[in-house]
Structure 1
Amino acid sequence: MTLTGLYVPLITPFDESGGIAFDALETLAHQILDGGARGLVALGTTAEPSALTEHERESVLKIATQACQAHDAQLLVGANSPQALDDLRERPEVTAALTLVPPFIRPGEAGAAAYLTQLAATSPVPIVIYHVPYRTGQPLSAATIQDLAAVDNIKGIKYAQGGIDEETITLMADLPPDFAVLAGDDPYISPMLALGAHGGILASALVVPTQFATLIDAWLTNDVVQAREPGHRLGNLSQALFAEPNPTVIKAVLHARGTIPTPAVRPPLLQADPTSATRAIEKLTRLV
């Protein structure tokens, strides 16, 4: 299994009645893959999975699966517990699970690593670790990530460290073989690719998938000249899209463009302030 290129975490669009806008979700999934994405992420945090019913999650996963099959694309699925991983056992179409470092508990690096190793041992699909310490409260050092990379069935990491720090440099300077580092902080996608990341899992690409796919391809083919200037502009756009809790601004922009029927989110999220959407749209108009 090779994980390279652009992966886009799907939102869950809602209609005027508050239900899932399934047609809009299906159209969006195909647009993203037509735009050059290597794959989709279903039921990641961008999809507001904790606010969905079991039936809704099943329906979202079905749409994502069918879109990926139609495009011969890869499918990652958010799964953070032994039960959620086991539920993927009868889904051969799933490429890997995107599995969060255990949040809130803060078990320490050794505890987090032991838990992820245990999950990998029983998971029916490969695991991509979701490392986002400013949300989970549990950082992982470069050394711990490198140890986890040696574990059978752990095949990569969504790396959302919150910036480019010393641990990032240490990790990227000595990348484990056959282990994919997928950048997960959208504004930093270009510098992460410059350091050697294999691709990205980027919610910002819901808005402009082709531009992000092209940017990643440029870095992966060492075309620095073609990568530098778009990287600056896309990083600037991403900052605007993440000015409020994800995916509120992204949904507002997609609604303004007519891609989804409403900008609605479910509690505990609140809809983005109109000024945030306006700023993001202004930056978007400079790209398209």
Structure 2
Amino acid sequence: MNGIHVPLITPFDETGDVALRVLDREAHDALAAGAAGLVGLGTTGEPGSLSAAERTSILDVLTGIGAPLTIGANTRAELDELRGRPTVTAALTLVPPFLRPGEDGVVAHFEALIQVSPVPIVVYHVPYRTGQQLSAHTLRRLAAIDGIIGVKYATGGVDPDVIDLLADPPPDFAILCGDDAVTSPMLALGAAGAILTSANVAPGAFTDLAAAWRDGDTTRARTLGARLARMSAALFAEPNPAVVKAVLHATGRIPTPAVRLPLLPATAASLRAALSAATLPAHR
């Protein structure tokens, strides 16, 4: 699992329904810009606010595209929804949130889930949301489980554990950046790719960044990485994905900037700052 993967927002129309045709277009545009794959029903897609019928409709749209697809699925029931959908190549599964079961508990949890999952699993490690820290040693234990193929690493920065992992990565285990603002240094250290909310806004720029590091064009990579880090900081000035949706709406790409409670729409000030920081693709 390499390259830039775009965790798609869930667009809503003027009636509050999921705008499925818009979702399909945004997915195709991301792929046309060079994205290696798509992620559906991740945190950026506001899955907790969706009904079961809406989740199924989104799955139907995204699985019909035919591109490599990772789906956010954290429970046995959610994993079972992926059965019989051949374009779903992986599930993105959170480290158990809130409970803080300890590192042995996390390993046991994923050992149990992979036994029932119809697809490989990418571990979503985001301790500032889950409350559970994982050491490099524990991530290597997870990597050794058959069917665990990677980690979305989102600890809030480039820390000693990920430096340890990237210095000697486990075989057949993708270390993916999950913190948009530090994508460039993570790629420089050898990350296989990234799952980036900010790539909803500028997928081509992030694929160019990954290509620059891969090709050894460090001057271009550093310059582009600095610009994209500033853009990402502006897009995350308020809870995700409020500012991203505001930018996509302001540029004519989605019908409304609406998010669902408990999220609130982005403020005008955050939208202005994000538009100023972003280099936006032309809208068709």
Q: Structure 1 length normalisation: TM-score?
A: 0.95
The residue aligned with 1:98 is 92
Among 150, 165, 189, which residue is 2:144 paired with? 150
The residue aligned with 2:115 is 121
The residue aligned with 2:18 is 20
The residue aligned with 1:273 is 267
Q: 1:179 to 1:235 in 2, by over 3 A?
A: same
Whether 2:182 is the aligned partner of 1:188: answer yes
**Once the 2 structures are TM-superposed, how far is the Cα of residue 222 of structure 1 from its aligned partner?**
2.5
- CA distance, structure 2, for counterparts of residue 265 and residue 286 of structure 1: 21
- CA distance, structure 2, for counterparts of residue 125 and residue 181 of structure 1: 18
- CA distance, structure 1, for counterparts of residue 101 and residue 23 of structure 2: 37
The residue aligned with 1:41 is 39
Structure 2 unaligned blocks of 5 or more: none
**Once the 2 structures are TM-superposed, how far is the Cα of residue 287 of structure 1 from its aligned partner?**
8.6
Q: Tell me whether 231-240 or 218-227 shows the greater mean CA deviation.
A: 218-227
Q: Are 1:146 and 1:176, in contact at CA under 8 Å, matched by a contact in 2?
A: yes
Q: Are 2:121 and 2:149, in contact at CA under 8 Å, matched by a contact in 1?
A: yes
Whether 2:198 is the aligned partner of 1:204: answer yes
How far does the alpha carbon of each residue in 1:56-107 deviate from its partner, in whole angstroms, 9 at most, with x for none? 111111111222x1xxx21000010111112212112210000010001110
Q: Tell me whether 116-125 or 272-281 shows the greater mean CA deviation.
A: 116-125
Whether 2:86 is the aligned partner of 1:88: answer no
Q: What aligned pairs does 1:69-80 form with structure 2 within 5 A after superposition?
A: 69=66, 73-80=67-74
**What letter is aligned with 2:193?**
G
Structure 1 unaligned blocks of 5 or more: none
- CA distance, structure 2, for counterparts of residue 23 and residue 126 of structure 1: 28
Q: Are 2:202 and 2:279, in contact at CA under 8 Å, matched by a contact in 1?
A: no
- CA distance, structure 2, for counterparts of residue 46 and residue 249 of structure 1: 11
Whether 2:173 is the aligned partner of 1:179: answer yes
Q: What aligned pairs does 1:224-235 form with structure 2 within 5 A after superposition?
A: 224-235=218-229
**What letter is aligned with 1:6?**
I
Q: Structure 2 length normalisation: TM-score?
A: 0.96
Instruction: Tell me the percent identity.
Output: 57
C-alpha root-mean-square deviation of aligned residues, in Å? 1.3
The residue aligned with 1:31 is 29
Q: Tell me whether 47-56 or 80-89 shows the greater mean CA deviation.
A: 80-89
How far does the alpha carbon of each residue in 1:118-173 deviate from its partner, in whole angstroms, 9 at most, with x for none? 11122110000000000010111110001110110000011101101222222222
Among 53, 56, 69, which residue is 1:55 paired with? 53
**Once the 2 structures are TM-superposed, how far is the Cα of residue 221 of structure 1 from its aligned partner?**
2.6
Q: Are 2:155 and 2:179, in contact at CA under 8 Å, matched by a contact in 1?
A: yes
- Structure 1 stretches of at least 4 aligned residues deviating more than 6 Å after TM superposition: none
Q: Would you say how many aligned residue pairs link Structure 1 and Structure 2? A: 282
**Once the 2 structures are TM-superposed, how far is the Cα of residue 250 of structure 1 from its aligned partner?**
0.0
**Once the 2 structures are TM-superposed, how far is the Cα of residue 264 of structure 1 from its aligned partner?**
0.4
Q: Are 1:198 and 1:220, in contact at CA under 8 Å, matched by a contact in 2?
A: no
